[in-house]
Amino acid sequence: MSQIIECVPNFSEGRDMGIIKEITNQVSSVEGVELLDVDPGKATNRTVVTFVGPPQEVIDAAFLAVKKASELIDMTGHQGDHPRFGATDVCPLIPVSGISMEETVEWAHQLAKRIGEELQFPVYCYENAAKEEKRKNLATVRAGEYEGLSEKLNDPQWKPDFGPVKFVPRTGTIAVGARDFLVA
């Protein structure tokens, strides 16, 4: 049976459809990945994107989308009604079929490591991918939001799981996770 995972990144842009399209084009560019939904919100200034596919392809598509978001979204002027701390705020992976949560966590860690090393901004892991119990809850990880990030990164208790221990004003940070489906 082939393995399928879902990825639901949330980007801190919900108003400029040109930027949103450039990000989702990155997802669509990866063979084997199916873009299922793009849900922008003007008031939240946030877009939730949903795509599925085999794990490696989904990880590749997620990385490309996060990279493009880091190039196009400048957090220094971001305003919106939703808690956030990065250009790509969260990037959860969800096991769909033929894959365990434990395997999905491994993929989340691989993605988080790649983002931290190649894009050079801080990465936290949350939910099932959390490396510490206190980081399981996304609200706890995101506490202080973008505006409190510089101070948070100076606290040894909040050293990122991957990437540099430095505040990157343009991109902020990202939380990469592994979780079950959410029923909103």
- For residue 90, list its beta bridge partners: 10, 175
CA 21 and chain centroid, separation: 17
Confirm whether 82 is a catalytic residue. Answer: yes
Active-site option among 15, 82, 113, 131: 82
Burial 102-134 (b: 16+ CB within 10 A, else e): ebbbbbbbbbbbbbbeebebbbbbbbbbbeeee
Both structure tokens of 121: 């901004």
What is d(CA 158, CA 181) in angstroms, rounded to the nearest whole number? 27
Residues 6+ apart with CB under 8 A from 49: 8, 9, 10, 11, 23, 24, 27, 35, 37, 38, 39, 65
Q: Say if residues 91 and 118 touch (Cβ distance below 8 Å).
A: no
Q: Say if residues 50 and 5 touch (Cβ distance below 8 Å).
A: no
Give me Rg for the CA atoms of the chain: 15
Query: Which residues are catalytic, by number?
Result: 82
